[in-house]
């Protein structure tokens, strides 16, 4: 069917929908639209717009991939195993180093590089961009699969 995200009976769609046809392009377009919206706000200069894009993207990334657990539809098929897993941990059924995971790992890095360039490597912007990038990259490391520091977000 040309769609890597075919959800056959009894499989968690959260694990496969990011492999579907056209999703990466949609992701890039969504970030571009966000950036254009921020650029059009009159009192922000270019550097602030880029940093804001980076920060908003990373916060959204963190919330949807690493904070929210479970699935927005009932998981009758796996007896609640995916209730305790964040979306990142559910992708591709927990298999590491798949192409989707690499794409989602690279997106904040590329945004960071672009933001650093357009803010002319200003120290304050650098610190903000770097810290949000680390916030969103560290949970994606395979060593942190299923790890809940200090029990935050465990249940």
Partner 1 sequence: MSKDSFEPAPRVVVFLTYLGYGILMLFGYFRDFLRKSGVETTHSAIERKNMKDFVPLYQSFESFYKRNIYMRLRDCLNRPICSVPSAEFDISERVSDDGNWHLRLTGKTRRCVNLGSYNYLGFAENKGPCADAAAEALQQYGAGVCSTRQELGNYKIHEELEETTARFLGVEDAVTFGMGFATNSMNIPALMGGKGCLILSDELNHASLVLGARLCSTVIKVFKHNDIEDVERKLREAIINGQPRRQRAWRKILIIVEGIYSMEGSIIKLPDFIRLKKKYGAYLYLDEAHSVGALGETGRGVTEYWGVDPRDVDIMMGTFTKSFGAAGGYIAGSKRLINHLRAYSHSTTYACSMSAPVAQQVISSMKIIMGEDGTNRGQLRIKQLAANSKYFRQRLVEMGFMVYGNDDSPIVPLLMYMVPKIAAFSREMYEQNVGVVVVGYPATPLTETRARFCLSAAHTREMLDKVLDDISDVGDRLQLKYSLNSPVKAVSAEECYSQVDSLEHKA
Closest contact distance (angstroms) between CB of 107 and partner 1 is 15
Under the binding rule (CB under 8 A), the answer on residue 151 touching partner 1 is no
**Plot region of 149 (φ>0 → left; ψ -120 to 50 → alpha; else → beta):** beta
Task: List the interface residues with partner 1, window 49-108 (CB under 8 A).
Answer: 68-75, 83
Closest contact distance (angstroms) between CB of 85 and partner 1 is 12
77 CB-near residues (< 8 Å, 6+ apart): 10, 11, 12
In whole angstroms, how far apart are CA 87 and each of 55, 72, 145?
A: 20, 11, 11
Part in contact with partner 1 (CB under 8 A); list of ranges 12-20, 44-52, 119-127, 130-138: 12-20
Closest contact distance (angstroms) between CB of 126 and partner 1 is 30
Select 40 or 74, whichever has its Cβ closest to partner 1.
Answer: 74
- CA pair distance 138, 151, nearest whole angstrom: 17
Contact with partner 1 (CB under 8 A): which of 20, 39, 59, 93?
Answer: 20
Under the binding rule (CB under 8 A), the answer on residue 2 touching partner 1 is yes
Select 26 or 99, whichever has its Cβ closest to partner 1.
Answer: 26
- CB-CB contact of 4 with 20 (8 Å): yes
**SS3 assignment, position 107:** helix
């Amino acid at each position: 069917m040309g769609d890597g995200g075919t959800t056959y009976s009894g499989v968690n769609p959260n694990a496969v929908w990011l492999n579907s046809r056209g999703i990466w392009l949609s992701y890039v377009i969504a970030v571009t639209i966000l950036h254009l919206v921020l650029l059009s706000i009159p009192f922000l200069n270019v550097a602030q717009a880029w940093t804001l894009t980076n920060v908003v993207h990373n916060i959204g990334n963190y919330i949807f991939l690493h904070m929210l657990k479970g699935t927005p539809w009932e998981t009758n098929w796996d007896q609640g195993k995916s209730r305790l897993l964040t979306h990142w941990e559910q992708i591709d059924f927990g298999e590491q180093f798949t192409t989707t995971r690499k794409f989602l790992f690279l997106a904040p890095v590329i945004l960071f590089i672009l933001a650093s360039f357009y803010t002319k490597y200003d120290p304050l912007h650098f610190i903000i961009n770097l810290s949000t990038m680390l916030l969103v990259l560290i949970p994606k490391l395979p060593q942190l699969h299923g790890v809940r520091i200090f029990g935050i977000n465990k249940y």
